[in-house]
Structure 1
Amino acid sequence: MRRKNAALLVNRASLSHKIRYAARNPARIAPHARRVARDTWLRLRHRDHVSYYRAVMASDTARDPDKAVGSASRARWRALGEMQFTYLTTHGLRPEHRMLDIGCGNLRAGRWFIDYLGPGAYYGIDISPDILVSAKHTLVAYGLQDKVPHLTPTRDLTLDFLPDAYFDVVHAHSVFSHSPLSVIDECLAHVGRVMAPGAFFDFTFDRTEGREHHVLREDFYYRTETLVALAERHGLRARFEEDWEKLPHGQSRIRVTAS
């Protein structure tokens, strides 16, 4: 059974939630205010979401690349990467596969995948050139140059520069949790073209069982039914991954296959 608790019904964008949260966490008020000011300025300069979030990533990466991809410490960075790797290798990823990692960041999980897969079999894309520079540092730090992975910046998720029916596994961790529905729709509209026969696409998202909402247009909360229906609209079959819910990560997961 899926976990059901009060947290899944919370609307984090509501004023009442913000007041209660601030009362319980007074030390976070000042950092949140700084984030609001920065994000407001960036939204004024970058009107479309991808350009805006690219600017957010540039700002966050300049401070700390690990925190920019959602890891509060280096230990947590390593643990989350290993968790993604372990899950995928026990749920279908094999060494002979070719993998597309959407939103690869600074290779928190990618460095595990690169080491596991054959040379040239890993393709990591990200909207942030800044985080990809950090990804190159990760390659050097873990001695993975001989695996010649592909690391490519992208302006959108049309995947138009990639070949048809090429990838056995497509992966997007903590990408849709930062994306409005239009960006998710764009990805789902095109991902089927690059998936090889029998391929699967795993993505994580921030789940709500209440009203769908966002916080500062950085963190988006969706109902499972919304994303499943969106995938099906593009001729894909989507399945909620129940066993992923047992792991300590904070997001939910859906697997998409060709219908």
Structure 2
Amino acid sequence: MPPTEKNVTVNRAALGHRITYALRHPDRVPRHVARAARDMWLRHRHPDHIAYYRAVMRSDTRTDPDAAVGSRSRERWLALGAMQFDYLLGHGLRPEHRMLEIGCGNLRGGWRFIRHLEPGHYYGVDISPDILAAAQDTIVEMGLQRRLPALTPVRDLTLRFLPDAHFDVVHAHSVFSHSPLHVIEECLANVGRVLTPDGWFDFTFDRTEGEEHHVLREDFYYRTDTLVALAAKHGLQARFMDDWEKLPHGQSKIRVTRPAEPQPPQPS
């Protein structure tokens, strides 16, 4: 499949863009208005972003768990999961690795990771108990009970209940695209602690080369430099994954690692 063409200059929150989009897609206006009204009510009830987005996920999951994680159809759900899995497999994921998936959802990619990894080596967390119930359904559907995956609801991204230097791979697909900067920083401030020295953290994000913005406080658009600098602030090295851009996916990807430990001087 050809790569997805990304429009990284448009500001989707700008009034002009919204009017133009509505004129081009009038059939989508009623759905957008209904979603905006729902989100306004949920933000009123839940001022904290994570509590707000947990409520969004509860609402979306009750309608369709696949759509709640951003897949328009079951076929797209399977295709996006395969894309995530194939990419990590081609970038070093091995069965003996221990993997933490942040925002694991209903295991769109996770069920493939669970099947590939050794039993007990997959740990999924999500802010939504409702989507984790759907994840349990996926485990049953795919016959993965004996792989013993762990699924845990979380209130934040501090990861404080997880052990030091435990995970070889941390993965967050389509999580930071729904997160304000302070939530992303909370994750980056803590993820280095749970990574092994040679481990890595891959995350996707909605990229813009213009003004950073959000739509309905559901979708957030960031410049690459912003996230790279935020990782550096917390002692992590980050690089933009150019080869991900060749894939048919609308988001971009960054890989974060711990800096190499200095080697002791060799005796002369």
Counterpart code for 2:61: T
Structure 2 residue 217 is matched with structure 1 residue 229: no
Distance 2:205 2:92 in 1: 20
Deviations 1:189-233 (A, max 9, x none): 000000011000000000000000000000000000000000000
Distance 2:235 2:60 in 1: 36
Judge which range, 57-66 or 5-14, deviates more: 5-14
Counterpart code for 1:33: V
Deviations 1:85-137 (A, max 9, x none): 00000001101000000000000000000000001000000000000000000
1:7 positional shift: 1.6
**Match of residue 125 from structure 1:** 125
Deviations 1:22-54 (A, max 9, x none): 000000000000001000000000000000000
Distance 2:75 2:26 in 1: 26
Structure 2 residue 82 is matched with structure 1 residue 82: yes
**Match of residue 38 from structure 2:** 38
Distance 1:85 1:177 in 2: 19
- Say if 2:85 and 2:109, in contact at 8 Å, map to a contact too: yes
Counterpart code for 2:109: A
**Match of residue 48 from structure 1:** 48
**Match of residue 149 from structure 2:** 149
Distance 2:28 2:15 in 1: 16
1:6 positional shift: 7.9
Counterpart code for 2:138: T
1:249 positional shift: 1.1
Percent of paired sites with the same residue: 70
Specify whether residues 124 and 236 from structure 1 end up closer, same or farther in structure 2 by C-alpha distance, changes over 3 A only: same
Distance 1:190 1:92 in 2: 23
**Match of residue 182 from structure 1:** 182
Moved over 3 A (4+): none
Distance 1:135 1:7 in 2: 32
Counterpart code for 2:223: R
Q: Name the SS of the counterpart of 1:44 in structure 2.
A: helix
Q: Name the SS of the counterpart of 2:78 in structure 1.
A: helix
Distance 1:166 1:77 in 2: 29
Distance 1:115 1:76 in 2: 20
Greater relative contact order (CA < 8 Å, ≥ 6 in sequence): 2
Distance 1:170 1:117 in 2: 13
Distance 2:14 2:160 in 1: 38
Specify whether residues 178 and 6 from structure 1 end up closer, same or farther in structure 2 by C-alpha distance, changes over 3 A only: closer
Q: Name the SS of the counterpart of 2:7 in structure 1.
A: helix
Q: Indicate the structure (1 or 2) with the bigger Cα radius of gyration.
A: 2
Structure 1 segments unaligned to the other structure (5+ residues): none
Distance 2:32 2:169 in 1: 37
Distance 1:7 1:105 in 2: 26
